[in-house]
Amino acid sequence: MTNFLTLADLTSDEMHDILDLAINIKEAWQAGEETPYLKNKVLGMIFQKPSLRTRVSFDVAMLQLGGNALYLSPNEIQLGKRESVADVARVISRYVDIVMARVFGHYDLVELAEYASVPVINALSDYAHPCQGMADFMTILEKRGGFEGQTLAYLGDGNNVSTSLLFGAALLGMDFTIATPKGYELHPAVWDMGRSLAAETGAQLVATHDPIAAATNADVLYTDAWASMGQEEEAAKRRRIFPPYRIDESKLAPAKDDVIVMHCLPAHRGEEITNAVADGPHSALFDQAENRLHSEKAILVWCLDAA
């Protein structure tokens, strides 16, 4: 049984395998071929947080793979409140073949995986967002043709998305630079893990507080919302601190001429990214969004060893 909790749990070969599978499944889908890898399989989808991309992409992924998805809203399963996480894991494992969970606390996800007897996928936690990371690196692979010699620059908060980007870049041998305001850096334990992974691939991992320095010669520019779900009380403060990290024309200028711009969405246009960039010729925002569908198909198939 294979869980998918963080990209750091993968080997470099496993990450390449999942990306290759995602590309193959997407090409088959575009050619009109059926891909019934998960015929008669059922995915249980546990949501503590609402989502457009996660809900629709996993639901459609199972449909296109020949299976079914069951949506369980925050009111239906209150992890650790109405029923213990361990008991939820034991019960739902009797009904479905695989589980994905979109949670607030990563500890809930870890406990869910510990007690479940079917694979568990992290569809977002406060620690990591590996499904988004896989879609992002799939998009980079399609647009850049590879990872070595490429630099991914992330501007903004040291959050779950940037954690997954650091882990993925380290596994794939892609250089990674993150520019954050002081006090919003990635946790030191994330850096320790990232450096351990990068030791195998030679990826260069850099942290700075200078967004222009980070953007200089970047092949990929990436940003995310300044305040994540659950950080609403901090939003006003963050809107005062983060404007220098906005991706606008001033960040495109020092980057590579063919730089691609990425954002995991939803975007707060005018805050972390301008309309001109989000809708401009460098934008890959909606290719990323589409690739959530195809990369998640590959994750599901990989977890169930159904390829």
Residues annotated as catalytic are 102, 129, 132, 224, 264, 292
Q: Which residues contact 137 (CB under 8 A, 6 or more apart)?
A: 15, 19, 147, 168, 172
What whole-number distance in Å separates Cα of residue 246 and Cα of residue 273? 5
**Beta carbons of 29 and 35 less than 8 angstroms apart:** yes
3-state secondary structure the chain: CCCECCHHHCCHHHHHHHHHHHHHHHHHHHCCCCCCCCCCCEEEEEECCCCCHHHHHHHHHHHHCCCEEEEECCCCCCECCCECHHHHHHHHCCCCCEEEEECCCHHHHHHHHHHCCCCEEEEECCCCCHHHHHHHHHHHHHHHCCCCCCEEEEECCCCHHHHHHHHHHHHHCCEEEEECCCCCCCCHHHHHHHHHHHHHHCCCEEEECCHHHHHCCCCEEEECCCCCCCCHHHHHHHHHHCHHHCECHHHHCCCCCCCEEEECCCCCECCCECHHHHCCCCECHHHHHHHHHHHHHHHHHHHCCCC
